[in-house]
Amino acid sequence: VTYALGFLACFIVVFVVALMVSVLSHAPIVFLKLAELESGEMDVFLLPQKRSGFDFLNYTTASDILNDLEKYSYSTPRYADGDSIVYYNANDCMPITAEVD
């Protein structure tokens, strides 16, 4: 009986430690997914200078510059306008509006 109790205690400890190590190793993926749900897959948010007199950046020019480097060639424009962000889905080129909290 004591042998079984000792074996069960060791098994539970090893199982819990292995479970925690597995959960902690996947924690960055969970936090990344939560961040992407909150603000899209946005890595950078560019705004024109206030003194320029323009409300938006020329995405065509920015895309031409970024496409020269393959590392930066995967981008999608998102237009923030007050309470919502409009971005364009690359698959069907249709605008999608997302509310900003």
The pLDDT tens digits for 30-84 are: 777 777 776 666 566 666 667 767 666 777 787 787 778 777 766 766 666 655 5
pLDDT value at residue 55:
66
Alpha-carbon distance values, 8 to 2, 3, 5, 14, 15 (Å)? 10, 9, 5, 10, 10
Provide the pLDDT confidence category of residue 18 given band limits of 50, 70 and 90.
Answer: very high
Residue 4, pLDDT > 60, answer yes
> What are phi and psi for residue 89, nearest 5 degrees?
-75, 125
Provide the pLDDT confidence category of residue 12 given band limits of 50, 70 and 90.
Answer: very high
**Collapsing DSSP states into helix, strand and coil, what is residue 23?**
helix
DSSP track, 60-96: HHHHHHHHTSGGG-----EEEETTEEEEE-TTT--EE
Residue 19, pLDDT > 50, answer yes
